[in-house]
Amino acid sequence: MIDESVFLKELTSTKHKEKAFAKLLDLYQERLYWHIRKLVITHENANDVLQNTFLRIYKSLPNFKQKSSLHTWMYKIAYNECLRFIEKNKKRQNVSIDDVNNSYLDNLTSDTFFDSNETQLKLHRILSELPERQRLIFQMKYFDDLKFREIADILGVKEGTLKSSYYNSVKHIEKNILSVQLLTKTQV
């Protein structure tokens, strides 16, 4: 485990910044990639957003106020970069956010980097039915193993609201997981 205050000093010092940032990439690149990937779905889009996220982190480090952990701050930046990306694509393609939500599962399963079993596909089918915000909260808690407090900081909402949304998602999944029917490629 790293001492965050020492690490932050290294990240903002001119002498150690490059080496410390390489360590930051090493520590967080994969975790942030998967966080981003759940939001933008495809590998290519996730890589683009990840790159923008680390550029923004690099430029913003001197302004980091330490009101949250470094980890939470970076997740918030990644989340905001995802929102920018989705909004930009929505405008470019002239589609509604509902259309983006409806294509969640289609985009996910058509991605050559997506590898899952039937149970995972059923879970993602159910997740595709949830409102975007509720799906995001579930993914951040279940897949990213973030604490409710961290998710609240990232999304800027109350912790109680998050817990309610998460547990409603869990109930919805439990209720529907056994009844989900997956279409085979021949049925499509």
Domain boundaries, the chain: 1-97, 116-188
- 3-state secondary structure (DSSP) of residue 71: helix
pLDDT at 16 over 80: yes
pLDDT over 80 at 70, yes or no:
yes
Residue-wise pLDDT for 93-137, tens only, equals: 655 545 544 555 555 555 555 556 677 778 888 888 888 889 999
Mean of pLDDT over the chain: 84
pLDDT at 104: 59
**Predicted pLDDT of residue 126:** 86
What is 1-97's CATH number? 1.10.1740.10
The confidence band for 73, taking pLDDT boundaries of 50, 70 and 90, is very high
* pTM listed for this prediction: 0.76
Out of 1.10.1740.10, 1.10.10.10, 3.30.565.10, 3.20.20.10, the CATH code matching 116-188 is 1.10.10.10
pLDDT of residue 127: 86
